[in-house]
Homo-oligomer: A and B are copies of this chain.
Amino acid sequence: MSAKASIDIAAARELHERLTVVDGLQYSNWDRSVFQQLHEGGVHAVHVTVAYWENARETLSRIGEWGRRYAAHGDLIRPVAGAADIRQAREEGRVGVFYGFQNCSPIEDEIDLVAVFRQLGVFLMQLTYNNQSLLGTGCYEEEDTGITRFGREVIREMNRVGMIIDMSHSAERTTLEAIELSARPVVVSHANPLFFRDVARNKSERVLRALAGSGGLLGFSAYPLHLGGGSECTLDAYCDMIARTADLMGVEHLGIGTDLCHRQPDQVLGWMRNGRWRRVLDGDEPESPRWPAQPAWFRDGSDFPNITAGLLARGFSETEIAGIMGENWLRVLEQGIAPQSQ
């Protein structure tokens, strides 16, 4: 490593320590070591997934488990009841935790459960997870029929109670309709642009522009299947993608949403992909899926300073980097999760 690179790393470290850092999505195998890595990585808040296919009852257990984690690891983590708690977590040297659903399964067919789960700290909900849902169409369906009747009601209710609409795993038409219908910012918490890698989970320029138009953001994923070059993706290529997306969306509409699933056993990948809804896999899918290797510059939560370093090397200003690394998420949360006045 050259002397110049060493100097850059020191500068990046110094900058990173001044930032408020938000990871816009993780589904790690939560234990003390994972919290310690986030703490070491200078992360002040993380959006954690509490449901993929879980129904309302099962979701209560997932949220209940977080209560147990706060009790056991209260020196490292804390619940976040509002955007201000993230600033507070930073002051306390703890990692703030807020909840999201990657599917609408927890609300079942009951619109009143949106408010109930919002009261339990669920700040974001995806309208679909890969498949057709009661609300809209997922990104792996062949036909995209847009937002359903129930979907329109739920969007209005999410707007009312202050639960942010997340379209990370939704199909294009459904995504564009949700943005059109929502009166408040819409996000894609964890994905990348299609131009970086052409997979169903990544987003078109049309979707990205519409997200920015809503006041929302894109959280850049560090999940190998969303990266150009996969596990071999370089930090330079990642930051070039961010720069190109900034030109497209405006840098104030960019955040990080790593999609990190640190130390999850392979069976969990099966649960995420197959839930309870199928026994027979698609022709090209492996019977026993395995987690891909993370890129060398983002192996776990302690590697967040590398992203700051990459953005600095790419020529982003300190203000722009502060926005991408957390301030833009904070703004969207401030705007997105306050209940509408009654």
Query: What CA separation (Å) do A115 and B63 show in the bound complex?
Result: 9
Count chain A residues whose beta carbon lies closer than 8 angstroms to a beta carbon of B: 22
Q: Are A112 and B67 in contact (CB under 8 A)?
A: yes
| A153 at interface, CB cutoff 8 A | no
Out of B56, B112, B120, which one reaches A120, CB within 8 Å? B120
CB within 8 Å of B: which A258-277 residues = none
Query: What CA separation (Å) do A116 and B342 show in the bound complex?
Result: 25
CB within 8 Å of B: which A80-126 residues = 110, 112-113, 115-116, 119-121
Interface-located stretch among A68-76, A139-147, A284-292, A297-305 = A68-76
**In whole Å, how far is A104's beta carbon from the nearest beta carbon of chain B?**
15
What residues of B have a CB within 8 angstroms of the CB of A112 in the complex?
61, 64-65, 67-68
Query: What CA separation (Å) do A116 and B119 show in the bound complex?
Result: 10
| A57 at interface, CB cutoff 8 A | yes
CB within 8 Å of B: which A287-342 residues = 342
Out of B61, B119, B342, which one reaches A121, CB within 8 Å? B119
| A60 at interface, CB cutoff 8 A | yes
- Of all chain B residues, the one with the shortest Cβ separation from A68 is B112
Query: What CA separation (Å) do A125 and B63 show in the bound complex?
Result: 20
What residues of B have a CB within 8 angstroms of the CB of A110 in the complex?
60-61, 64
- Beyond A61-B110, A74-B342, A342-B74, is A116–B67 a contact (Cβ under 8 Å)? yes
Query: What CA separation (Å) do A113 and B58 show in the bound complex?
Result: 11
**In whole Å, how far is A34's beta carbon from the nearest beta carbon of chain B?**
20
**In whole Å, how far is A53's beta carbon from the nearest beta carbon of chain B?**
16
- Of all chain B residues, the one with the shortest Cβ separation from A78 is B342
Q: Are B70 and A342 in contact (CB under 8 A)?
A: yes
A interface list, Cβ under 8 A from B = 55-57, 60-61, 63-65, 67-68, 70-71, 74, 110, 112-113, 115-116, 119-121, 342
What are 19 of the A-B contact pairs (CB < 8 Å)? A56-B60, A57-B57, A60-B110, A60-B113, A61-B110, A61-B112, A61-B113, A63-B116, A64-B113, A64-B116, A67-B112, A67-B115, A67-B116, A68-B112, A70-B342, A71-B342, A119-B120, A119-B121, A120-B120
List 15 additional A-B contacts (Cβ < 8 Å) besides A55-B57, A56-B57: A57-B57, A60-B60, A60-B110, A60-B113, A60-B116, A61-B112, A64-B110, A64-B112, A64-B113, A64-B116, A65-B112, A67-B115, A74-B342, A119-B119, A119-B121
